[in-house]
Chains A and B, each alone.
Chain A
Amino acid sequence: MPTKVLVPAGVLGLGFDDEALARGIAAAPDIICIDGGSTDSGPFYLGTGTSKYARSVCRDEWRSLMLAREAAQVPLVIGSCGTCGTHETVDWMFDITLELAAELGQSITVTRLYSDMPTSDIAKALADGRVNPLVPAPVIDAETIHACDHIVALAGAEHIQAALATGADIVLAGRTTDTATIAALPLLRGEHAGAVWHGAKIGECGAFCTTKPSSGVVMITFDEDGFIVEPMAEDAVCTPHSVSAHMLYENSDPYILYEPGGHLDVTAARYHALDARQVRVTGSQWVPAEAYDVKLEAARIAGYQTTMLAVIREAQYVSRVKEWVDDLIAYLHQRIARNMRLSTDDYTMEFRLIGVDSALGELETRQGMPTEIGVLVIITAADQETATDLARLINPFLLHHPLDSQGDLPTFAFPYSPAHSERGALYEFAMNHVLQLDHPMDGFKLKIDKVGHGKAG
């Protein structure tokens, strides 16, 4: 019996078409799955255990999905809650769910899946030879692991299945692979494993696999031989090209996708237009692995930053900006050594020239003469106080440094006061490794709550 998975959008917080969602519910899905996160916005969110998207927006969209779940009477699953999928953001989604359950008068079972891995456990696993590098992997040891603010493991289909097995109406999952929430139920029901993982990859970004990505909602129907993908917005269509091209997206290999417990191989996949809107895919293969590996993500503090921005409009400075900035940097290093007793090992300061090469740096191939240039100064030091003290030292020279020491002092445009902004901690991704598990649930935790039955917890 086919399994229908409704995917309302690529991520909670990005928005979806309400009419398309209603059409999806009317089509009687077996489960509703949405992603809540990604590493794509950088390491800050994992480092701090916070969401990229606004709580009010996530709450508003989650309200629509909780109503849709009630109408459909099927499970609603979100993976990678709150961007990073740490226990803080799983609990953040739980709080939102509690508020909405009370507001909507729903009595439901909510199961939380935690993907956090304690640093001490990962350090021990490293010592035991169960943490293995991917390409490229940062060098790690027990010390670097203990320095991480958060380490999460990407849950797979087995973890979502375990959460569903608790009788959950809603599953709030910590960090999860993009595909696992979608794959879990069809795999349980015995649909074709290759088709399941392939369809899950095609559907994981919602309507990105259609001709109208902003519409959000797609239905993936899995069976024992393949899957069908169909957009729920009336003005969107899926074509063999729009569907097959999605395997390219954010994927370094267009044919292979690694998941906990094996990998998907779509080399032999065939894409067939059923009609003007729906595409059927067959021929994808799931290749089980001997070991059960989960990918790890980790973030740690790599320093503290203070930034400054100045704008240069004066034509001779614009035309000779690289000469100016090189001279300024050399001068500043001297001043910093003399006045602050810091060596260049203690800090970095970058002058990124907006209008020249700030996006591409040394890769930039174009040269032109901009009207004005923004000078974004990024200072990084071991602590915030030092970074800001460096900014205060740099301030008058960023404002007045002359090209010609004999000439008048220029005064560039500072857009605000104070001219510096404290960015706080700079986080970095510290691992690109997998953790080998004896059992898929090792290290993962489930928490089950009856909500709206009088008392949570």
Chain B
Amino acid sequence: MAKLGDIVEKIRAKNAGPFWVTVDIFCGDTGRFDDVVSRLDTGRICTLVKADPQTTRRFDIEDLAVIKFSFVRKEVQGSRFDRDMHGAQMAVLFAELDI
């Protein structure tokens, strides 16, 4: 079993405004993109980040060999219980995911 971060080129996460966080998985090439797309289950990702599947958005962008997820933040950026002002550490969960 491999870690997603070992397969793909780069994974980054960032706020998309105060109410969303977005994760970009740069696969690197079409071969890895097709491989990851076929193995990455959206439901499993929602469980990983405890996101609501109803509002979670996924984009498989073949031209860029990128898979993008956007999640509604569980804690609004900077609110009392927010732990990560810029939402960037979420990328680590994806990189360390067994796939």
Question: Which residues of A are interface residues toward B (Cβ below 8 A)?
Answer: 39-44, 134-136, 138, 241, 244-245, 248-255, 302-303, 348, 350, 352, 358-363, 365-366, 380, 426-429, 432
Contact = CB atoms under 8 A, between A and B. Distances in A.
B59 A254 contact: yes
**Which of B17, B22, B49 has most A Cβ within 10 Å?**
B17
A326 B17 CA distance: 34
B86 A40 contact: yes
A360 B87 CA distance: 10
Contacts of B78: 42-44, 427-429
Contacts of B61: 248, 254
Interface of B: 14-20, 22, 24, 26, 48-50, 55, 57, 59, 61, 63-64, 66, 68, 70, 72, 76-81, 83-86, 89-90, 92-93, 96
A136 to B, nearest CB: 5
B66 A39 contact: no
A42 B85 CA distance: 6
Contact of B24 (A134, A136, A248): A248
Contacts of B24: 245, 248-249
A249 B59 CA distance: 13
Contacts, number: 101
Contact of B93 (A39, A255, A358, A360): A360
A136 B80 contact: no
Given A248-B68, A252-B70, A365-B93, A303 B80 contact: yes
A27 to B, nearest CB: 29
Contacts of B19: 134, 136, 429, 432
A429 B18 contact: yes
B89 A360 contact: yes
A350 B81 contact: yes
**Which of A138, A350, A361 has most B Cβ within 10 Å?**
A361
A429 B80 contact: no
Given A250-B16, A428-B78, A429-B78, A361 B83 contact: yes
Given A252-B70, A350-B81, A244 B18 contact: no
A366 B96 contact: yes
B89 A359 contact: yes
A365 B83 CA distance: 16
Nearest to B24: A248
8 shortest interchain CB distances as A-B pairs: A42-B78, A252-B70, A252-B16, A43-B78, A429-B18, A359-B89, A252-B20, A428-B79
